[in-house]
Amino acid sequence: MGGSSLDAARDGPAVPSLETITGAVLCGGRSSRFGADKALHVVAGRTLLERALASLAPARERLLVGRRYPVEGARQVADLRPGLGPLAGLEAALVAASEPWVALAACDLPCLTPAYWRLLCARAQPERVVVVCGPEDRLEPLAALYPRSALPHVSARLDRGLRDLQGLLRELPAVAVPRTAIEAACGPSVFHNVNRPGDAGGDPCGR
């Protein structure tokens, strides 16, 4: 009630397409297990950061959340609460986003593609996170689609000292997409994660 036209623009449309979202790549980690700046590690001719951004190339807006990198076509966004991990990165992305939906990608998932994000957009429902659910109901929070309406929940958890994304997703209304359906469409390596240099030998995505 009484919201401005800017508020209305930032809170709609109810259901997104890849071309109407903000894509946000998290690149604020310390890469302690990796031993070097993970975002700049080259996999099959491109850095992990470049690959994550390429998966979101059709998005209306792209953000780099965390460290600053000399990348064209993406807006740099600083963490609002440095050192508090991916949940704080999600908060910064939701605050900075110009669009009503945010596709959140970790920079160490090199096998994500535009087709992956289109599948999530196709499953979207108003005001609900779209998240892939794997074995034992394990969710994939760093390759998920978040409505900006999730921001108060994210901030409230951080205010209470809670930093786990799984807990956030358990309390938010969500559309759970079976991992088997995503892997059938995008390939079994779509969620390949690079934690150490040995995880990125050759082309882990098989393309």
The lowest-confidence range among 65-69, 133-137, 144-148, 195-199 is 195-199
Mean pLDDT of the chain: 87
Please compute the mean of the pLDDT values over residues 11-23 and round it to a whole number.
81
Please compute the mean of the pLDDT values over residues 141-157 and round it to a whole number.
97
Each residue's pLDDT tens digit, 171-197: 999 999 999 999 999 999 999 988 766
Each residue's pLDDT tens digit, 34-44: 556 888 888 88
Listed in sequence order, the residues at least 6 apart from 93 whose beta carbon sits closer than 8 Å to its beta carbon are 22, 24, 26, 63, 65, 77, 102, 104
- DSSP readout, 153-206? HHHHHHHTT---HHHHHHHS-EEEEEHHHHHHHH-TTTT---SSGGGGSS-TT-
Is the pLDDT at 202 greater than 50, yes or no? yes
- Phi, psi at 85, each rounded to 5°: 85, -170
Calpha distance 94→86 (Å, rounded) = 12
Each residue's pLDDT tens digit, 53-92: 999 999 999 999 998 898 888 999 999 999 999 999 999 9
Tallying the residues shown for the chain, one arrives at: 207
State how beta strands 143-147 and 101-106 pair: antiparallel
Is the pLDDT at 6 greater than 50, yes or no? no
- Nearest-CA neighbor of 63 among 100, 31, 103? 103
For 78-112, b where at least 16 C-beta lie within 10 A, e where not — what string?
A: ebbeeeebbbbbbbbbbebbebbbbbbbbbbbbbb
Q: What percent of the chain has pLDDT over 90?
A: 70
Place 29 in a pLDDT band, splitting at 50, 70 and 90: low
Place 203 in a pLDDT band, splitting at 50, 70 and 90: confident
Range 5-200 classified under CATH 3.90.550.10: yes
Is the pLDDT at 2 greater than 70, yes or no? no
Calpha distance 20→13 (Å, rounded) = 9
Please compute the mean of the pLDDT values over residues 132-158 and round it to a whole number.
95
What pLDDT does residue 199 have?
A: 58
